[in-house]
Each structure stands twice: as C-alpha cells, then as structure tokens.
Amino acid sequence: MTEALTPTPYIDSDHPSVIDFASQHTQGAKSDIERAVKLYYAVRDGVRYDPYSLVLTVPGLRASTAVESKRGWCVPKAIMLAACCRAQGIPARLGFADVRNHLSTERLRNLLGTDVFYYHGYTAIELRGKWVKATPAFNIELCEKFRIKPLDFDGTEDSIYHPFDLDGREHMEYIRFHGEYDDMPLEQMLACFAKHYSPSAASPGGDFDREVDEETRDRPS
C-alpha cells in the first residue's frame, strides 16, 4: 500500500491546497468509508467537468491545479480524488477505461473525430480491504441538464457510469479497462490519444457549459 499512499508529481497529496480541501470536506467523518464518500461528492460537484480544460502536462494534470481552478475533465478529477484520499491516509490509485460516450456535445465529438473517449479516468480506492471504483467526473448540474442519472458512491460498491440515461437513451458503454496505476501513465495516454484522436483535439478551446446549455435547452426536465 505504500505506493498508493505516497505523493507524486501528479497526485500531490502533500500540497497545502489538497490537504486543506480534504480536511474541510471530511469534517465529522468517523471512518475511512465516510471520509471517502464525502470526498467523492466534494470532487464530483465542487469541480465542474470541463473537457476543454485539457493541459496534458504535469502542472495541468496535478491534483492541486484542479483544487485551485475548480474545473477539470475526468482525468484530473480522478487524480484530485486520489490525492484527497491519500491526504487522509486512504490508499487510492488511478484507473482508466475506453468508453463510448453517447451524450457528449456535437462540437466535442467533431473535435475528437469519434464518440469514444480513450483513457477515461476514475479513482480506485481501498476501503476495508476491497478496491472499489469511484467516478467523480460529471457534476450534478451536468447530469441534470443531460438527464443522466448521477453516479452515487457508498464506499462499498463500484461507481461507474450507467449504460442508459433517464430517458432510456444510450449513455456510456465501457469498451476496455486499461488497469489501475499508482501514478499517472501520461506517456501511455498520450500515445493512445495520438493514435485515435484528430490533431485538433490537442488544443480544443471552447465553452463547454455554453454548448451543454444550447444542446439541452429544449429537452424536457
């Protein structure tokens, strides 16, 4: 468990902002499960999902950057949750999977050249001798606009995306799991991105919140 508790350049669980965030959001918790659950919801809803905040460097991906910017895509949000858990003495790793995401925005799909999101990030957390998956990417407001069932996490069972949304449309299909890591496998991820994504995906830009509002404006609530 040593590696799953140790700070790294990405999972900077020893950074003051990470320590403060983790301490603030675990007040009153009496067990590791309670702490992990509180941290999950704090990261899920306290950091807005933004796939255009794509900075594929150590500073761009590290946990403290997400803590301070309060925005991030799935990978830095997973890194942030792992760092917060480690800051509280809870072993945590990074997990990755390729998923077919049926409900991203049209512009994002066009930029990527596909509806497959490679190296989608989640956090693996060790609780009571069991590793459980936690996926804090989509904040509650985004789920409500897209009519996606928000992912709950109770610290005992895996929390991964549902195959269908609240209206029965296809949502998320897991294609391949890449495994779980004690630190960020950036070179592997970059090689995968270069192989599968169009060159325009490297510098996406854009306002994801505005795109979501435009595409979901006429959907029934």
Q: What is the pLDDT of residues 19-34, one digit of tens each?
A: 999 999 999 999 999 9
Residues 76-85 have pLDDT tens digits of 999 999 999 9
Name residues whose C-beta falls within 8 Å of residue 110's C-beta, 6 or more positions apart in sequence: none
As a whole number, the mean pLDDT across the chain is 91
Contact (Cβ atoms closer than 8 angstroms) between residue 123 and residue 133:
yes
Chosen CATH of 3-199 out of 3.40.50.12500, 3.10.620.30, 3.40.50.1220, 3.20.20.10: 3.10.620.30
Report the distance separating Cα 189 and Cα 178, nearest Å: 10
Q: Which of 26-35, 48-57, 206-215 has the lowest mean pLDDT?
A: 206-215
H or E, element range at 100: strand 92-101
What pTM does this model have?
0.92
Identify the CA nearest to 166 among candidates 105, 220, 218. 220
